[in-house]
Structure 1
Amino acid sequence: MKPASIRKFDWLYLGSLGVNLIGILLNFDSLSAQAEAEFAARGMAESGAGMLVGSLLIGLAINLGLWFLISVLRIGLAKWALVLLTAWSILTTVKSLSLGLESIMVWGLLSTVMTLVAIGFLFRPGSRDWFAAHRGIGGE
């Protein structure tokens, strides 16, 4: 059975994905227009919305894959990959904030904070024991 810290990680991390998805859906028109403008500048005007949807699906698949590796398969290396991706997200968020606060950024900030709290639960003693037990080092 999963310890409470891993269950909290599940709820917070999956919730952060949901918050991020809601923010994207609520701002899809402006994101799509921005993507189409950027691709139009490169001579690929019709690619903007398709690339946006494709990148969103790939990002969602990566995040769900990391959750599965961490929460179901107990692969400790995946939690470090999540830490690195979250650090990258924080750096890009800080850079975006310098350009001004938009509606999509509020959703992204909330999602990032939820992810940071979720990651914190991966480093609690119960979680460490749970990962260690999977490797046969102790715990359960």
Structure 2
Amino acid sequence: MDNTSTVLREWLVAVKSLYHSVEWRPAEEPRSYPDEEGPKHWSDSRYEHVMKLRQAALKSARDMWADYILFVDADNLILNPDTLSLLIAENKTVVAPMLDSRAAYSNFWCGMTSQGYYKRTPAYIPIRKRDRRGCFAV
């Protein structure tokens, strides 16, 4: 067990007044899935559950005519306090920061196969290492 809920609750208390609306619906109990192999395994039913939560959040944002919605997974950390301002300044319908990792992996796909799968391209590593900066189509 980690202290994610405590950290989120403290952050919400500190910044809630800066936003028109902030919704957080923590699960009362840890959830398990019938097809999971363990608590860190992302089974099909877990992906389906998360997709439904995100769709519900998107609907809620649309219903209140929100200008923006931010989705953040618990295992992603955004340390730059200017991140939201920088993303909004891009004036895109959908935009996301490239997240750092210790490996060559990132949440950014520089290329894609005709089937929609990841494809490594020569442009990927310079972008991943931030030698080439900017806002890129994904």
**TM-score, with structure 1 as normaliser:** 0.30
- Structure number with the bigger relative contact order (C-alpha 8 A, sep ≥ 6) is 1
- The structure richer in helix per residue is 1
**TM-score, with structure 2 as normaliser:** 0.30
